[in-house]
Amino acid sequence: DQQVKQNSPSLSVQEGRISILNCDYTNSMFDYFLWYKKYPAEGPTFLISISSIKDKNEDGRFTVFLNKSAKHLSLHIVPSQPGDSAVYFCAASFSGTYKYIFGTGTRLKVLA
């Protein structure tokens, strides 16, 4: 049973426009949600996180929104840049434990 789902395997966006990556989860007990970015042949890089007690967190061009009632989170990138082209993973974890549960990833392509 996949507890964290990214239903869109790929997304293409024009440079300068907004990229919206989506993630759904099934367990309402998750305490933290995180987004990672991964280039080919490299390890994932942490981007941004959000606690379950918040509904928005912003860091520069990246904003994560959490809708607990819908069990849905999204990552907004504004404006999108060609260097943002990568695979984006969302992940969820419980506080007090050490496990991160990852989605299957969304490949973002930003077109120049």
Partner 1 sequence: DVKVTQSSRYLVKRTGEKVFLECVQDMDHENMFWYRQDPGLGLRLIYFSYDVKMKEKGDIPEGYSVSREKKERFSLILESASTNQTSMYLCASSRISGGPEAFFGQGTRLTVV
Per CB under 8 A, residues contacting partner 1 are 6, 9, 31-32, 34, 36, 41-46, 49, 51, 89, 91, 93, 95, 98-105
Q: Which is nearer to partner 1, 79 or 100 (CB)?
A: 100
Question: What is the spatial distance between Cα 26 and Cα 109, in angstroms, rounded to a whole number?
Answer: 27
Q: Which is nearer to partner 1, 83 or 99 (CB)?
A: 99
Tell which residue, 25, 23, 26, 21, has the closest CA to residue 11: 21
Question: What is the spatial distance between Cα 102 and Cα 36, in angstroms, rounded to a whole number?
Answer: 10
Q: Which is nearer to partner 1, 10 or 12 (CB)?
A: 10
